[in-house]
Amino acid sequence: MMEKPSAVIDAHATHWASLYPDAPEDIRARIKNIVARSSIIAQVELPEARAMPNGGQADTLTAMAEADGDVRHMVLLLTERQSSSGCVLSAFPFAAGAITHPVTIDHVASIGSGAEGQIRGRTEDGAEISFFDPLFFKNGGDYEVGESYQFALSAFAYSLRPFGLKLVKGDDTVAPPDVLKPSRNGASDDYEFRATVQHVYPMRLDTGTVYRMRVTVARTGPSMVDVALYAAEHVLPQGYRPKPGDEIIGRLWLQGYLVED
């Protein structure tokens, strides 16, 4: 028997709002329906039993999500194997379509219940980034500071608009440099960005179109850091549709998950 996910989106409310324009109650109902249709993608034994609202003792963390698709709905459950009862621990949007970069880890931080975490590190060209790891529950305990891992990087846009300013040098008009800097208001994985759109792939969700873009968010000489950026149409200016070559600015939530051999 599954407990009702009453406050399941609270910790990730702003993240869900980047994907859906729905009211919180509608998002909770959406997540509940998705749990019924999702697959178990991982089960991890808990280091110690945890009490559940129904009085049971959870011994396993169970992760559920869609089996395919770029944008998925990750739901983490506390479950008791013997009784098959459980309760929702957390739920967040997961961008499975991502762009891989080697990242050397500087710091690992577990957050909330410990099943979620953030990674701070450096890309191959020295760009410092901090990101939410949607598969932390599975891989977080194995990371070692100072080691380099292949991480697939993606982001959800909180806001996005075209950036019209151009710099004039002689007879040439050039775009300003791509920038990814920590947001003044937000967590360590929230950023303000200025980026160049490389490719755009429109996708349909129940509530409208989501644009998957390959964008350059940082450059060091010839080296570039590209991420897969997902922007739902409700976070864009009315009538704006991103296209290759656009210079864009906004705020985003950065994710990265370990690419396993």
Candidate from 19-33, 85-99, 114-128, 136-150 with smallest mean pLDDT: 19-33
Q: How confident is the model at residue 1 (pLDDT cuts 50, 70, 90)?
A: very low
Q: What is the Cα–Cα distance from 202 to 100, expressed in whole angstroms?
A: 21
Mean per-residue pLDDT for 88-117?
Answer: 91
pLDDT of 104 > 90? The answer is: yes
Nearest to 238, CA basis, from 166, 165, 162, 163: 162
DSSP assignment string, 160-213: EEE----EEETTEEEPPPPEEEE-SSS-TTEEEEEEEEEEEEEEEETTEEEEEE
CB 8, CB 88: distance < 8 Å: yes
Residue pLDDT, tens place only, 171-229: 555 555 667 888 888 889 999 998 889 999 999 987 789 999 998 876 665 566 789 99
How high is the pLDDT of residue 173? 53
Mean per-residue pLDDT for 119-144?
Answer: 92
pLDDT of 170 > 60? The answer is: no
Mean per-residue pLDDT for 138-164?
Answer: 94
Residue pLDDT, tens place only, 36-74: 788 899 999 888 888 887 778 888 999 999 888 899 999
How high is the pLDDT of residue 10? 72
Q: How confident is the model at residue 9 (pLDDT cuts 50, 70, 90)?
A: low
Q: Is the pTM of this model over 0.85?
A: yes
Mean pLDDT of the chain: 85
Burial tier of 255 (Cβ tally within 10 Å: 0-12, 13-18, 19+): buried
* Residue that wins the pLDDT comparison between 126 and 137: 137
Q: Which residues does residue 60 pair with via DSSP β-bridges, in sequence order?
A: 45, 79
Percent of the chain with pLDDT over 70: 88
pLDDT of 85 > 90? The answer is: no
Sign of CA dihedral 123, 66, 1, 19: positive
